[in-house]
Amino acid sequence: MFSRNKRLFVALFALGVFLLAFWARVRSLPVAMMLDDAVGPWLLAWGDPFSGDAHRSFYGWGLLVPYRLALRFSDSLWEAVAVLQVFHALIAPLVLVVVLNWRSSAWVAGCVASVFLALDPGLLDTARSGAEGYMAPLWIGVMVLAYQVRQRDWAPYLLWFSFAMAVMNHPLSLCAAPFLWGGVGRGSSKRWAFLMGVLLLGPHLYSLWPSGSGDTGGLSLSVAEAFDAWLVQGGTTAWVLFFAPWVALARKSTRRMGLLTLSSLLLLFAAGFWQGYLRDHHIRLLAVPMAACLAVVDGPWILLALGLVRPDFANLPPPGAPPRPGTLGMETGLASEIDRLPVERGLQIDGAWVSGSLVAEPSALMLDLHLRGRDVSAFRTGEDLLVLVSFQRDGARLFADSSAVVARGDHHVLLFNPAEERSEFCVLGGRLGGAWNFFAIAHPSLELEDLSQWVPDCSSLKPANAEKNR
């Protein structure tokens, strides 16, 4: 058992490493991605998180719980994303608790493991990447903790609940099934916990059965490429985390954790071979059990591993520089700019992507303004329209003489109630729209045609008129 002073030190260290992990993630907010993949969960959590639609077919409602909680305590999208980092940062003190419940004498190793996860470049990348911002690594960590205390009556319930939540955050969390070893067997608590797990996870797995998880939503990588990308992104931290389970096999007291972690890792690789798709952030699903295996090293020698920590902090734009397109910083700046416009009626924001990178998602802007208290969610015919036009830097000459321009940047212009400018979109080409993602959640009964009234009928333009607008 710990002495009182040691317990106090561990408690203060857990708080400190949580604050370190939170700071490392919050400092990246200006460059956090806020495009379609990132906005989707926020919109669904704002609408109805239990609707059964959690952004992609292979996610469940458990994905949206932290998003919903973050929105509850936020007055802007920036604040909501900042609150979400609290959940990401919890993984650092969690691994310390896992190690202490496993081997109370390995508290130094637990502290080192928590620093590893607080500053792991891969986990930092996951936190700021909109397409990878799920909480499956955290829930798998809770699952491992429940396995460590599996003799407690409540442990099987926590084990199955966290497993269900992890799978709803990402289906490849099924590969952590070896840790369910402590949640099956005789005993009323284990039987009832198993039934709870079936009720939570059964409908989601049933929905996955016909289609599987083949909708990758991005670039596919082979297992070898994913493993290499994981090592490159994580650097020396990833190498330490990979070898820790293998070293844990050398000692009897740590062998079971090493075996369970390696079994989960092999299942993950097997799943990647089976479906021909694996990404580096999928390997990070097992970050907590891999880091917990550092408990194999006793005494102060483990402190030498701290010299291998190389956090990969995001490069932020210099002070005064414009935010990068597609980031939360750009979205927040545009929302603040729009919020200052003297618009008395309801406001609909749509988009026109002409060239280059998309500056911001119109749906993200409307959600942000709604959180700020602006009237954007009550759709009405004839309300004011704001069109965000995204283009490459050399397109700044576009709409140079237009009276509808209310704001301009290096990669965008904002057009307020454009009328004469509509035909120019036919000449420029590109993609029009973007408001539908927001209004489909705010007003499910609306039809897409109701939001497309401003879009020009390019087929009706005569060639002479088109040439005039060049």
Residue 54's pLDDT is 58
Instruction: Please give the pLDDT value at position 306.
Output: 84
Model pLDDT for residues 147-189, shown as the tens digit of each residue = 988 888 899 999 999 999 999 999 999 999 999 987 776 677 8
Where does 289-420 show beta strands of DSSP type E?
347-353, 384-390, 405-408, 412-416
| Report field, pTM of the whole predicted structure over 0.85 | yes
pLDDT in tens, 30-76: 999 998 888 989 998 998 766 656 556 678 888 899 999 999 999 99
CB 384 within 8 A of CB 453: no
Q: Among 8-17, 125-134, 421-430, whose mean pLDDT is lowest?
A: 421-430
Using pLDDT thresholds of 50, 70 and 90, give the confidence band for residue 460.
low
Which pLDDT belongs to residue 359? 92
The pLDDT score that the predictor gives to residue 470 is 38
Give percent helix, percent strand, percent coil of the chain, each to the nearest 5: 60, 5, 30
Region 99-118: mean pLDDT is 90
pLDDT over threshold 50, residue 463: no
- pLDDT digit string, tens, across residues 223-233: 999 999 999 99
**Which of 452, 333, 341 minimizes the C-alpha distance to 29?**
333
Supply the pLDDT for residue 256: 92
| Cα 271-273-274 angle, rounded to 5 deg | 60
Q: Which two tokens stand for residue 441?
A: 């959640």
CB atoms within 10 A of CB 212: 12
Instruction: Give the SS3 label for residue 116.
Output: helix
